[in-house]
Amino acid sequence: MKNHFWKKAAVLSLLAVILLGGTAISPKQAHAGYEPYIGEITVYPYMFAPKGWLKCEGQLLSISQNTALFSLLGTNFGGDGMSTFALPDLRGASPLPNVNYYIATEGVYPSRP
């Protein structure tokens, strides 16, 4: 009977956290953010690019404003290599409707092994 009480209390506590929009993570853990690698590509179900990310739509970028990303991508996806380079064009490759590919323009520069 006592064991059943604790199970019920745990379920009710979890339900309260979900319904009230709280978190079971401590504030210190909640602020320990994930920092992507520059050039990392991922999918997001957003209609906008989050800060530090751009949609992978083959657009031309300025090398002088994106030197770290250019050092990783070069002209593999286009651009003149003097003043511009291009991002990969992944339009139409979405795994689901309203999900797009994004590339990190800010973050940790990947080290070589």
Q: Write out pLDDT tens, residues 32-57.
A: 468 999 999 999 998 888 999 999 99
- Which residues neighbour 46 within 8 Å (Cβ) at sequence distance 6 or greater? 100
User: For residue 86, what pLDDT is reported?
Assistant: 98
User: For residue 5, what pLDDT is reported?
Assistant: 53
In the chain, domain spans? 1-29, 34-113
User: For residue 95, what pLDDT is reported?
Assistant: 85
Asked whether 53 and 44 are in contact (CB, 8 A), the reply is: yes
User: For residue 8, what pLDDT is reported?
Assistant: 54
- pLDDT tens-digit series, residues 62-104: 999 999 999 999 999 999 999 999 999 999 998 888 899 999 9
Distances, alpha carbon 39 to alpha carbons 6, 83, 97, in Å: 47, 19, 23
CATH for the 34-113 domain, from 2.130.10.30, 3.90.1340.10, 3.40.50.2020, 1.10.10.10: 3.90.1340.10
Distance CA 24, CA 47 (A): 29
Q: pLDDT at residue 14 above 50?
A: no
Q: pLDDT at residue 11 above 70?
A: no
